[in-house]
Amino acid sequence: MTATLLDGRALAARIEGSLRSEVDTFVTMFHRRPRLVVVLVGDLAASGSYVKSKASAADRVGIDSDVVRVPATATTDELVSLVASIARDEHGPADGILVQLPLPERVDTVAVLDAVPPDRDVDGFHPENAGLLSQGRPRFVPCTAAGVQRMLIDAGIETAGRHAVIVGRSDIVGKPLALLLASRGPGGDATVTICHSRSADLAGVTRQADILVAAVGRPRLVTADMVKPGSAVIDVGINRIVGPDGTAKLVGDVDFDAVREVAGWISPVPGGVGPLTVAMLLANTLLAAELRSSRR
């Protein structure tokens, strides 16, 4: 058996096509384009690359985007103040506000993220948006979690009544994805188990999974002997490793070459969940613009 490849790039392109049409409708109705403002702290190469890809995708669908660059020496108070000023539209209209992670270790990341108003929180990290998701009435869903669910739905992978195992309990992916997969409706109604660093017999649990999601940031953690034959394996991990020849490359949390011979479906890294994360961000930005404009 060789697993069916879950092509995130192709799905993201289809989502962008739909968003372009929806943005055109928004512009016709409100005579302006939605706008996303990204706060980028420091000059971490990976963060800069992510921000550039988000800006390019926004431009493709007709969403304006701007990057507010901040020195790596910025304090928590300075960043909270900056986010508040963006929310007051002092940097131009901001339908969506995104603080690019990770922030420097000395910065209180939670305080900075909480400063983003919940109605502009297109990353879906604010406690209010997390609470709405937990109650089954989501507004802004964390983008990677939303992208994983969309990938499953698009591929026709049944979730209702299936056992989904998520390796990783982060607020960004693991917890919101568990809520999505357990929710009522398409892409939901699954029985969900969350595994983490303190879980006993990890392989024993993952072998029970009809849907296995790896989201811990450990290169090739999930091996072929941890996977139930015919299951869907979604790799959220993005890890930069250096090979024997000194060349750096990106790999996921799944041992792709070995696992694809066991699984029924598998997402690659790169080209899997990553493009969908960006597509869901654009969808959240459009929603934020629609909600903001409808209140005026």
Pick from 222, 200, 199: nearest CA to 212 = 222
Q: Which of 121, 123, 253, 255 is catalytic?
A: 123
Q: Which residue type sits at 277?
A: T
Q: Which of 64, 95, 100, 175 is catalytic?
A: 100
Pick from 104, 138, 102: nearest CA to 122 = 138
Tell me if the bond preceding 186 is cis, omega within 30° of 0: no
State both tokens at 59: 């431009």
Active site residue 54: yes
Instruction: Count CB neighbours of 259 within 10 A.
Output: 24
Active site residue 225: no
Q: Are 167 and 220 in contact (CB under 8 A)?
A: no
Q: Which of 54, 121, 228, 253 is catalytic?
A: 54
Tell me if the bond preceding 138 is cis, omega within 30° of 0: no
Active site residue 149: no
Pick from 50, 26, 23: nearest CA to 38 = 50
Catalytic residue numbers, as ranges: 54, 100, 123
